[in-house]
Each structure stands twice: as C-alpha cells, then as structure tokens.
Amino acid sequence: MKMRYLTVEQIEVTGRRVLVRSDLNVPLDGGAVTDDFRIHAALPTIRTLRAAGARVIVCSHLGRPKGPDPALRMDPVAARLAELGGFDVRKVDDVAGPQAEAAVTAMDEGDVVLLENTRFDPGETSNDPDLADRLARLCDVFVQDAFGSVHRAHASTVGVAQRVTSAAGLLLVRELEAFSRFLDEPERPYVVVLGGAKVSDKLGVIRSLLPRTDAMLIGGGMCFTLLAAEGFAVGESLLEEEMVETVREVLEGPGGDKIQLPTDVVVADRFALDAPHRIVDAGEIPDGGFGVDIGPSTAERFAAVVRGAGTVFWNGPMGVFEWEAFRAGTARIAEAMADSKAFTVVGGGDSVAALRMLGLEGRISHVSTGGGAGLELLEGRALPGVEVLERWADG
C-alpha cells in the first residue's frame, strides 16, 4: 500500500495555528463520556503540537445530528480532553464562526481550542466550500488525525485539506501502517473474524477479502442470514431476507469454502437480558427462538483458528456481548486474539468496547479507532481524507 503524505513531524508549527481533525466521537450518557478510548488516542498528536509551540485548534463530529442538538454539544468532550491531557481546553460554541475566530485570535503558543460539533454546521457532510473556507481561515496548517472519519469526504476532512498545507497526525500514520500489513504481504495464515448485526454492512469486505484470506470466521447477528442461505431455519434471529440469495452466491462462489459459520448457537426465548436460553445446533433453532451468541463448540473452533494464524483482523462481536449471559463467544474470541502470537488488529466500536470491557486491549497488536474506515481500506477503496493529503506530500 503506497500512500504519500507529510507527517506532523515534517512541518514547522511553532507559533502557527494548527487545525487538528481528531476523532472525538465518543459515547455519552447523561452528558458524561462513558468511553474515552478515542480521546486517549487523539492525545499524542495534540501533545506533540503543543510541545512544539503550536496554537492547537481541535475539531470533530459527535454523533449524527442533522443540525444543532444540545445533547451532542462538545462540552463534556472538552472537559474529558482537558482532564486526560492535563492542559486547559477552551471550548467555543460555534464551528467556524465569530466565536471560533475570536478564540483563535486570542490564542498563545500551546493553547488548545475545541470547536463545536462539526455536524452542527449544515455544510459539513456536503463538503460545502463556504464551511471549508471558514475552517481554512482559522489555521495555517491542517493535521488529519481522525482515521475513523477519513472515509468521508466532509468539509472538516477533505475541504479544509484542499485549501491549506496538510499533514497526517501520529494516530493516522499508526493506523495506516497497521492496515498496510494486511494489504501488502500478510503473514500466513491470514484470518478474518467478522461479526455484528448486518451482513449487508460487510458484504463488500467479505467479497474483497475472500480471495486474499485463508479463513473467514463469521458470527454475530449477521451469521443468521448466511445460515439461512445454507438452508437452516433461524427462528426469530436477525435475518436480512433480501440478502439471502446474494449471500448464497458468495458461499457457493470462489473462496466461499473459506467461510466458517457457527455449528452451535446460544438461543434465547426472547430478546431480553434475563431471557431463558440454551445451546442448540445451528440447524435446530426453534420457531420463536432468538440467536444471541455463537455456541461454545463454535467459539473453541474459532479460537483455535485464531491461535494458529499469522495475521488476524477482527471486526464485530460474536453476540450480544453487552449482556453477560450472551458474552461468552465474544470473550473467547477476544482471549484467543490476546493469546495469539499473530499480528492482530481489532477495529469497530463494539469490538473495541468488548476488548476494553474484558481488559484485553493492551494485548492486541493494534486496536483501531476506525471501524468503517478500516473495512473500506481492506476492501481496497480509496479514503478521501487520506488521498487529499497527497497534494502536499512534496512540501
């Protein structure tokens, strides 16, 4: 994988206004940050710029608002960023308007300003030239560090980078280097583990990776559409009926024999935390039963494949891991990843959340901040927020 870009260490930032596009899209509950993984990941670039004497302006989206939403203001993120970083963060109440301009004008070297949620501005998702111009006027240099957003051509990921000297931040470089090991010459066996709710979300990556992988292990809600394509009854389990024929073609096509599906599953009487549940063979899910996890035999089989791999990518939990009763399959895969001697990458918010819940994130080669971006990169698709950096690669 050949990508050309400046890095943050290659640009002069002392005394300059540096706009950093971070990924601070973190979960909130009651106005408090409940998982600060992405804030931790954003700190090395911000600290590096502060130490070099830059005036650091940080921007990010939060959630998917269609305009201003009081529940998705960046104030709790600013508070947590300041707490973790050990520096003051001035949060302003607009994206690139008069308050932002005034705050940036008043900055000294090492100061940090956090702009309001970029998606509060209607021009963000359409890459509106006016918003891109206003963001560009706030800075002398742009640093792209939001791997989780580089697959989107938005004003804060692409538009501003078309207008001012731009470089890759430390997090972005680390992410791209990790994923390059899958795209170049991965150590064999190369294993992909996929889970999560919908097979439609991952059909592209399944098709793209099958020719390159040695084994693809599929669990989570998406596995029931594949099981249905093989002729199994799936009860009330999550099923995308419109995808069954397409999935059958994949299973019967070239490389389809590399796909491994559950042979046993955990089935609940209803989709609820306290639902009675039992283990059944994959072909014996009763009418009215809800598949909520891969079964123990499948978990052990999948874990053995992971332990014997040379390279492993995992995206998506094996079941409803948020509920302890249905966490065992996800936990077994996470433990196998942690014990593996392979180069291991975990991407996707739910997979990372499961790792953190289990305290295993420190035993993975690379824990990615970008689920969607990572999948698109593995599919071989261009990432607009990275491509735009190439125009500045020669300084």
Pair 31, 78: CB distance under 8 Å: no
With tokens 């306290």, the residue in question is: 274
For residue 37 the two structure tokens come to 């993984």
Q: Which residue has the tokens 């939001």?
A: 146
Across residues 191-219, what is the average pLDDT? 94
pLDDT at 183 over 70: yes
What per-residue confidence (pLDDT) applies to 1? 56
What pLDDT was estimated at residue 184? 83
Segment 92-107 mean pLDDT:
97
Q: Select from 3.40.50.620, 3.30.429.10, 3.40.50.1260, 1.10.530.10 the CATH code of 178-379.
A: 3.40.50.1260
Q: What local confidence, expressed as pLDDT, does residue 395 receive?
A: 62
With pLDDT > 70 as the criterion, what percentage of the chain qualifies? 99
**CATH 3.40.50.1260 boundaries in the chain:** 8-171, 178-379
What class does CATH assign to 8-171?
Answer: alpha beta
- The beta strand positions in the chain, using DSSP E, are 17-21, 28-29, 32-33, 55-59, 90-91, 112-114, 141-144, 166-168, 190-194, 215-218, 259-260, 264-268, 277-281, 290-294, 311-315, 343-346, 366-367
Mean pLDDT along residues 379-393? 93
Query: Quick check: 351 pLDDT over 80?
Result: yes
Provide the token pair at 374: 């990572």
What's the rounded mean pLDDT across residues 189-199?
95
Task: Tell me: pLDDT of 353 over 60.
Answer: yes
| Local structure of 112: helix, strand or coil | strand
Taking residues 281-296, report their average pLDDT: 95
Q: Which residues pair with 349 in a beta bridge?
A: none
Q: What pLDDT score does 180 carry?
A: 92
Q: How much is the pLDDT for 380?
A: 85
Average pLDDT over residues 338-348: 95
pLDDT in tens, 109-143: 999 999 999 999 999 999 999 999 999 999 999 99
User: Residue 9: what are its φ and ψ, rounded to 5°?
Assistant: -75, -15
Instruction: Tell me how many degrees the CA angle 223-228-229 measures, rounded to the nearest 5.
Output: 95
68-94 pLDDT tens trace: 999 999 999 999 999 999 999 999 999
Q: Which residues are catalytic?
A: 38, 198, 349, 372
Return mean pLDDT, the chain: 95
**17-21 β-sheet, strand order:** 90-91, 112-114, 55-59, 17-21, 141-144, 166-168
Q: Is the pLDDT of residue 159 over 90?
A: yes
The answer, yes or no, to whether residue 389 has pLDDT greater than 80, is: yes
Q: Do 315 and 209 form a contact (C-beta atoms < 8 A)?
A: no
Mean of pLDDT values over 312-328: 95
